[in-house]
């Protein structure tokens, strides 16, 4: 039998396969297999707090990545942690839980690409009264579906000073020289470490901005707003404010960094304040129905010798509301 001659194309293909078989093993890189991800959500670092009356409002960004930079696929609940210690090492028994939100429920704040979450904690009255000169610490612990997390978020501190109810019988009326506000003072606790006052706010529906007009302390129970304008609508409210000097060590003091690089944390005296609940808003329209006031300080000045005869009348300016 005469052997079949192989074509040049077949020899070329065989040569290429032989070359690849020689070089490919040298290009391979052998690595240790990656461990499976624990899917631990990255702890939030933007926890914020606001206290109003007995309620503490907490806000933070929901983690969208794990600690190993993967997307959070199976989020779990978020524990709300609270402690009287200035710094928490662990959550302990949570005071609340926020269930995991579905993707459709996530809402990103303007300018913030991360979905936002919130929680409202109600402070017990005895906790406030027994720790009036201290701060309480909050943190959140974001967990996965298996109730495991990577640790606490940044921690925030909130004053525990007790607040008072708003004053009774708060009312507003338009007068010729301003909007007059009146109320009835409530009895307060006789404690030397606490100071109470009333803060008056005004809101214009045009812009929805609250303006703090004044802080008034009892027994004063009236205030006149002479900065309002005629023919405008305003909304007034009044709230109590508690000021307190904190006990040393109740909150971490700012670090003292010296020129030689040594950092210390000295004791510091901090005075904090917290607002109570608001009164019922009083809405009114500053309609100008008042006649001009009677001029005061009227004087007559006659022309001097050698001048044309005339008489100038002068009087004091009247204090009224500003006009647009």
The number of CA neighbours under 13 Å toward the Cβ of 175 is 14
Domain boundaries along the sequence of the chain = 48-159, 168-285
Query: Contacts by 73-77 with C-beta closer than 8 Å and gap 24+?
Result: 73/39, 74/39, 74/144, 74/145, 75/41, 75/100, 75/101, 75/142, 75/143, 75/144, 75/145, 76/41, 76/100, 76/142, 76/143, 76/144, 76/145, 76/146, 76/147, 76/148, 77/143, 77/147
Provide the residue-wise pLDDT of the chain in tens; the chain has 324 residues.
455 555 555 655 565 555 555 555 545 556 666 566 678 899 999 999 999 999 999 999 999 888 888 888 888 899 999 999 989 999 989 999 999 876 555 555 455 567 889 999 999 999 999 999 999 999 999 998 888 988 999 999 999 999 999 999 999 999 988 999 999 988 776 677 789 999 999 998 788 889 999 999 989 999 999 999 889 999 999 999 999 988 877 776 666 666 665 555 555 668 889 999 999 999 999 988 877 777 777 787 777 777 777 778 777 776 655 554
| Range 168-285 has CATH code 3.40.950.10 | no
DSSP-H helix ranges across the chain: 8-27, 125-130
Same fold, 48-159 and 168-285: yes
* CATH architecture assigned to 48-159: Sandwich (2.60)
The length of the chain, given as a count of residues: 324
């Amino acid at each position: 039998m005469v052997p079949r001659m192989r074509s040049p194309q077949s020899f070329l293909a065989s040569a290429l396969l032989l070359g690849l078989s020689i070089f490919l093993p040298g290009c391979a890189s052998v690595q240790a297999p990656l461990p499976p991800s624990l899917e631990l959500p990255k702890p939030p670092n933007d926890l914020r707090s606001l206290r109003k009356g007995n309620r503490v409002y907490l806000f933070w960004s929901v983690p969208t990545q794990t600690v190993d930079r993967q997307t959070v696929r199976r989020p779990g609940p978020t524990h709300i942690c609270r402690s009287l210690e200035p710094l928490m090492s662990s959550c302990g028994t949570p005071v609340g839980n926020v269930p995991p939100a579905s993707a459709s429920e996530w809402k990103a704040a303007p300018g913030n690409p991360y979905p936002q979450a919130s929680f409202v904690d109600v402070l017990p009255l005895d906790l406030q009264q027994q720790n009036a000169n201290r701060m309480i610490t909050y943190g959140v612990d974001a967990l996965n579906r298996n109730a495991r997390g990577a640790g606490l978020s940044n921690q925030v501190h909130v004053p525990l000073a007790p607040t008072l109810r708003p004053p009774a019988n708060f009312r507003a009326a338009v007068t010729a020289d301003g909007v007059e506000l009146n109320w009835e003072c409530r009895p307060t606790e006789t404690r030397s470490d606490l100071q109470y006052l009333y803060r008056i706010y005004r809101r214009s529906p045009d812009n929805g901005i609250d303006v703090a007009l004044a802080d008034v302390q009892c027994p004063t129970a009236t205030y006149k707003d002479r900065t309002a304008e005629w023919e405008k609508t305003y909304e007034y409210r009044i709230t109590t404010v508690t000021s307190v000097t904190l006990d040393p060590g109740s909150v971490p003091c700012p670090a003292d960094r010296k020129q030689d690089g040594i950092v210390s944390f000295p004791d510091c005296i901090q005075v904090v304040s917290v607002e109570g609940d608001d009164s019922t808003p009083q809405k009114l329209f500053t309609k100008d129905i008042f006649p001009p006031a009677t001029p005061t300080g009227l004087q007559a000045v006659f022309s001097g010798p050698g001048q044309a005869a005339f008489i100038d009348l002068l009087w004091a300016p009247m204090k009224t509301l500003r006009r647009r």
